[in-house]
Amino acid sequence: MSPLITAADLADALGGVTVLDVRWRLGGPPGPAEYALGHIPGAVYCDLDTVLAAPAGKGGRHPLPSAAAFEASMRSLGVSDGRPVVVYDDWNALAAARAWWCLRYFGHRDVRVLDGGLKAWTGDLSKDTPDVVPGDFTARPGGMPLITADQAAILADDGVLLDARARERYRGEVEPVDPVAGHIPGAVNAPTTENLEPGGRFHRPEFLRERFNTLGVVEGVPVGAYCGSGVTAAHEVLALESAGMTASLYAGSWSEWITDPARPVERS
């Protein structure tokens, strides 16, 4: 099953799926305010900072939430194990991909991202906050491959480690968010913007396979992805899965990597 769903298919499925609005972006505008102005009917707001991440610290700017915290949050949003989930945002699927990855990692088997995001939705929007029936989701970590900083360093040598950030951040020319610029030595730059068509939808699987093949992602070679804080890297994992490829996520990403001054930094 594709990890993506079209707006037309979602419209047909409304009422039989749990829809999460994951609008969030670095620097705003605030997601809850955007949700209140209008959302896909029946959608429940899911906050990235408080639901899809633990408090910032040595684990980076967006560490993964604990299984217990994630389970409680998902149940409060109406997520159940046996009911499909669709997630969307208005930020090129960057936040939605994080929700998709977290749900998959914690064991939900039927999660898809609205391809093209809210912009692709042609139906009516609602300002009503739905009454949520608590779900029965049970968090079972391990549904998606996850790697540590040490494993990411090994992967950069023995496989392919994709850096999902913009090229200028990868090269260390600018760093608008984290206190240290650069990238993990040996990592290959693969900006998430190149996963998408100009209209905001994901490229076809064949296109994505060719793109990642040129970056060294071929059968038999282990691959992982990281970014600044583990959010946009989930977009890379999503694009790879859409292309029929499996990748590990370094969730702590660059913001965790640089908390240890002994870890090397490359700029080029």
pLDDT in tens, 53-71: 999 999 999 999 999 999 9
CATH class for the region spanning 4-120: alpha beta
Residue 77: its pLDDT value, please?
98
227 is catalytic: yes
Q: Are 253 and 59 within 8 A, CB to CB?
A: no
Residue of 99, 83, 216, 224 lying closest to 154 (CA atoms) = 224
Name the average pLDDT for the chain.
97
Residue 218 token pair: 């071929």
Convert the pLDDT of each residue in 76-134 to its tens digit: 999 999 999 999 999 999 999 999 999 999 999 999 999 999 999 999 999 999 999 99
Quickly count: other Cβ atoms within 10 Å of residue 56's Cβ: 14
Domain formed by 146-258, architecture: 3-Layer(aba) Sandwich (3.40)
Which residues, at least 6 apart from 122, have a Cβ–Cβ distance to it below 8 Å?
A: 7
CATH 3.40.250.10, the chain: domain bounds = 4-120, 146-258
pLDDT value of position 1: 86
Q: To 5 degrees, how large is the angle CA 263–CA 106–CA 111?
A: 115
What is the value of pTM for the model shown?
0.98
Percent of the chain clearing pLDDT 70 (strictly above)? 100
Mean pLDDT of 136-160: 98
**Catalytic one of 97, 156, 227, 251:** 227
- Give the pLDDT confidence of 9-48 residue by residue, as tens digits: 999 999 999 999 999 988 888 899 999 999 999 999 999 9
Reading the block at residue 179, the tokens are: 């206190």
As a whole number, mean pLDDT of residues 166-187 equals: 98
Rounded-to-integer distance, Cα 87 and Cα 237, Å: 16
Of 218, 223, 221, nearest in space to 233 by CA: 223
Buried b (16+ CB within 10 A) or exposed e, 28-54: eeebeebbeeebbbbbbbbbbeebbbb
Distance CA 184, CA 196 (A): 24
